[in-house]
Amino acid sequence: VRHSSVHHPESNPIESFHRTVKRLLKVICLENARDWEKNLPAALLALRTVDHDTTGFSPSELVHGRNLRTPERLLFEKWAEPEEENSLVTEYVFELLNRFQKYRELAMEKASAEQIKRKTWYDKRAISREFKIGDQVLILATHKPNKFAVNWVGPGVIDQRLSDTNYIVKRLDKKEKSQIYHINMLKPYYKRVERVNLLLTDKRDQEVEENDLEIDYPETHHTEINLEEIIQASELEGHATEEDLKKLRKVLNQHREVFSNEPGKTDLIEHDIELISDKPIRCKPYRTSPRQNEILRTEIKKMLDLGVIEIGESDYVSPMILVETIGREPRPCIDYRKLNAITKTQYFPLPNIEERVERVAAANYISVLDLTKGYWQLPLTKRAQRYAGFATNFGCYIPKTMPFGLVSAPITFSKFMAELLKGREDFCVPYLDDVAIFSNSLDEHVKHLDVILRKIGNAKLKIKPSKCSLGRKTVTYLGHVVGNGIRCPVEAKIQAIVNFPAPKTKTEIRRLIGMIGYYSRYIKDYAKIVEPLTNALRGKNKREQITWTPECQKAFDTIKGKLVERPVLHAPDYSKPFIIQVD
């Protein structure tokens, strides 16, 4: 059995013939354009009647024992006018068999001589190489997505030697079967020297030059949580008795370990990433200014200190960017767009915001808990850590916990919180890392708070103390002020809409509609009022300039006026009958 190596047509006559056919079809398509198929019979006739250099015969002679009668042959026969000879069928068959045998011997002799000739010319510039079983090799990339892609892939391991030039190679980077490769497509693989990262406790070894971009060694800081400050910030004195406050302090002291400014790490779930493509993601870090580098170095040090990342390398690398917005501190984010594009989509229904707001608004006592860096409290699987690697201008890092920016992160977190608080829906609803606890009496509310804190503590999650609101009549929840059966927009959000300038482009109109659309339930006849703004978005071009008409200005001013009036909605009581008015 002769084994043929892939992507090496020199070793396979069939592949060589296919290459000739492709070249012929290319010429036909270029010369005849749409009528190329009409010239196929003539092209096939040429392939079957032309003598090959390797055999010295045409394919028709080797198959039929005689060449096809081309127009030139017909003219030659007419010019020569040979005498017709009458022969028996048996004589013709024996003569044909003898001709086949003669053609075969001559073709094999010619092919052997041609093979020796070509090998002699090839060996003049060839360098003798060989691999042993177990050697690691790199494989020439036959398909490249772009001209900047790597030319060699691998490594692979030599599994078997078939001949002096063909080897069976087992790929280490793919879950595929072993494949045969020609030696011309292989080269030795030299493993890079591994670097060892050391954490030293000697202060003399921690001195870093001012212009050095190395990350400082992580240090752990523990902050003592003052529970009394949480109670005072909740403003309970006006509607809670001393006995109620005593019960609340007792519950908080029992679950003191749950409150922390540093994220925890649950052992109930691990976030995994499943890809639909084996193509690695390798992105270079974005260029950043020295000031942005200092901010990123500080944030990276905090993440190392918290144990949410570690120094390391991966074949999947996404760039880290610094997001800076007016009025907020700069925050680092990882650009996972290319990774998200090849991530297998998961599905889990996210909670409906309006349903959550209505349920919480109907209660008399409400507590809102915010998990400390909620995503960072869910660990990643080893496979997900490999896929989620990211790079900065001063190093590569591997996330150990779920980072922000992954397309499946909200789904995993929502599913986890729903499972964690399952069976407590009558007095607790989560929305991502915001947990709202609601009750009709303060005594009942303290019991509910005790149950939820115990569930969170058992899951090894942590709650940020500064963002907690406990036992209040009204709280800010998901952009609304809710409590005592009513709800209204947050003042800061209304002020942002009031200060929004008149839009000049379609992009600015979409931004405006997105802001006011969140509070559309507070505005009567909202769709009719904003109709001039939505009409301005018509057209194929999504970013073009718009004509700001008086109707648009009127709708813009009307929306602002409606929200400035501080509209209030009452939470629906589903135990009472409803009156529905329709057009």
CA angle 18, 21, 24 (to 5 degrees): 155
Q: What's the pLDDT tens digit per position in 500-509? A: 888 888 888 8
Q: What is the pLDDT of residue 10?
A: 62
152 close to 139: Cβ distance less than 8 angstroms: yes
Q: Band the pLDDT of 212: cuts 50, 70, 90.
A: very low
Q: Band the pLDDT of 237: cuts 50, 70, 90.
A: low
Q: Is the pLDDT of residue 401 over 90?
A: yes
Q: Calculate mean pLDDT across residues 197-211.
A: 45
State the alpha helices, DSSP H only, in 459-549: 491-498, 506-517, 526-529, 531-535
Of residues 229 and 110, more confidently modeled? 110
Q: Is the pLDDT of residue 222 over 60?
A: no
- The closest alpha carbon to 103, from 63, 45, 49, belongs to 63
Q: What is the pLDDT of residue 208?
A: 38
Select the CATH number that applies to the domain covering 490-570 from these four: 3.40.50.300, 1.10.1200.10, 3.30.70.270, 1.10.287.620: 3.30.70.270
65 close to 72: Cβ distance less than 8 angstroms: no
From 12-16, 202-206, 410-414, 417-421, the region with the lowest mean pLDDT: 202-206
pTM summary value:
0.58
Domain borders along the chain are 13-124, 135-188, 241-475, 490-570
Of residues 494 and 96, more confidently modeled? 494
Q: What is the pLDDT of residue 385?
A: 92
- Tell me the percentage of the chain whose pLDDT exceeds 70: 84
**Assigned CATH class of 135-188:** mainly beta
Q: What is the pLDDT of residue 6?
A: 65
Order of strands across the sheet that contains 186-188: 179-182, 166-171, 152-161, 136-140, 186-188
Q: Band the pLDDT of 81: cuts 50, 70, 90.
A: low
State the alpha helices, DSSP H only, in 315-441: 337-341, 353-361, 382-387, 409-420
What b/e sequence results for 81-94 when a residue is b if at least 16 CB atoms lie within 10 Å of its CB, and e otherwise?
eeeeeeeeeeeeee
Of residues 313 and 173, more confidently modeled? 313
Q: What is the pLDDT of residue 80?
A: 66
Q: What is the mean pLDDT of the chain?
A: 80
Q: What is the pLDDT of residue 319?
A: 92
Burial label, 253 (beta-carbon count in 10 A; 0-12, 13-18, 19+): exposed
Query: How far is CA 343 from its chain centroid?
Result: 5
Identify the CATH number of the domain defined by range 241-475: 3.10.10.10
- Tell me the percentage of the chain whose pLDDT exceeds 90: 15
